Amino acid sequence: MSKCRTREKSHSGRCKVLYLFVPYKLLNWFCVFRFTLYTQQKRGFRKATKKPEPKKAGPEEAGPSPAEKNEGLLQRQATSPPETSRPQMPPRAFGRLIKPLVFTVGFTGCSFGTAAIWQYESLKSRVQSYFDEARADWLEKLRPQKQGDVRKQINIWWNSLTEGQRTVTGIIAMNAVVFCCWRVPSLQRSMMKYFTSNPASQALCSPMLLSTFSHYSLFHMAANMYVLWSFSSSIVSMLGKEQFLALYMSAGVISTFASYACKTATGRLGPSLGASGAIMTVLAAVCTKLPEAKLAIIFLPMYTFTAGNALKAIIALDSAGLVLGWRFFDHAAHLGGALFGIWYIWHGHEVIWKNREPLVKMWHEFRSRRPGGGGNGSA
């Protein structure tokens, strides 16, 4: 299990070092487990029972009443629901990828646009928040202290977290809620439809995002969330919380689209789920930004290697799994997330984030025209 701490770059020119302690078989953490819930499907459907041949009633035998006929029909429908057919799709139906591609591009643009507006609003309200916090601290000193105040202890713990850890807390909570929903039998059908990504499914776009927050295995969720928690401080300090959230949400959709394309090309259709594709983007971004960061295995701390070499090894392993047809992990989603993280550090930040000024200017003019929008002054 991983734990990282960073040392900022000093004025003497020393490079920033990221110490990361990772477990044996670290790559197993960054996986999207494929599964088909055969157990739930078998529980939901039963083979229809054979209807007995009707006997001809003799003159002395009275036929069943209409009420008895209706009661027997309801019992047969309750115990033997009709078996539904699975959606059929040709192995190489690339036309079905047009809609997911449009959704991927549109969602990515909306994510970064929303993040830019959010950053604008945060900067605008920072001065007011400063005075509110100063007033709250002054009132806290005048207020008598309470012993064993749970709310105060929670506030102390929350304030002790880094900005990155506070940012990913909401992501971890959402994953925990979805994990609990998988344990509700009545939700199994909806969870399979909307929280697993499959190019053969009727729902194509919404699962691309929802499956990023979906884990069926407790170990899978705990491992992914712990890795996200460990890298959160580094990635948020590099990008800021608004840009990080836009990158994380977009990475989940982009990695799922890479999985769609690979499954459609190979004809190996099946459901996938997990946050591994988005986490691979975070991991690749940090390793690309800090290639000389030192990594070590938790059980073998004497053996260290650079983050750049670790990233190369991960990409090589997922590439081999994709070529050789390994089906336990969704290697296409891993590669899609990793390549997106590398591209964003090299070019994406310049192409997307630094060109947000026209959108922010439009939003500022829109806010200025609203009543009480703050006039035409600069934010």
User: For residue 329, which of 8, 40, 30 has the smallest C-alpha distance?
Assistant: 30
Residue 312's CB: how many other CB atoms inside 10 A?
A: 13
Active site (catalytic) residues: 276, 334
Task: Give CA angle at 330 (168, 170), nearest 5°.
Answer: 10
DSSP-assigned letter for residue 301: E
Residue 313, phi then psi, degrees to nearest 5: -65, -40
User: For residue 338, which of 297, 280, 290, 377 has the smallest C-alpha distance?
Assistant: 280
pLDDT digit string (tens) for the chain, length 379 residues: 444 444 444 333 333 334 343 443 343 443 333 333 333 333 333 444 445 555 444 433 444 444 444 444 333 333 333 333 444 444 457 788 899 999 999 999 999 999 999 998 888 887 666 666 656 555 555 555 555 577 778 888 888 888 989 999 999 999 999 999 999 999 999 999 999 999 988 888 999 999 999 999 899 999 899 889 988 999 999 999 999 999 999 999 999 999 999 999 888 888 899 899 999 999 999 999 988 887 766 667 677 888 888 889 889 988 988 888 777 788 899 999 999 999 999 999 989 998 998 999 999 888 888 765 554 444 4
- pTM for the complete prediction? 0.72
List CB contacts of 376: < 8 A, sequence separation 6 or more.
368
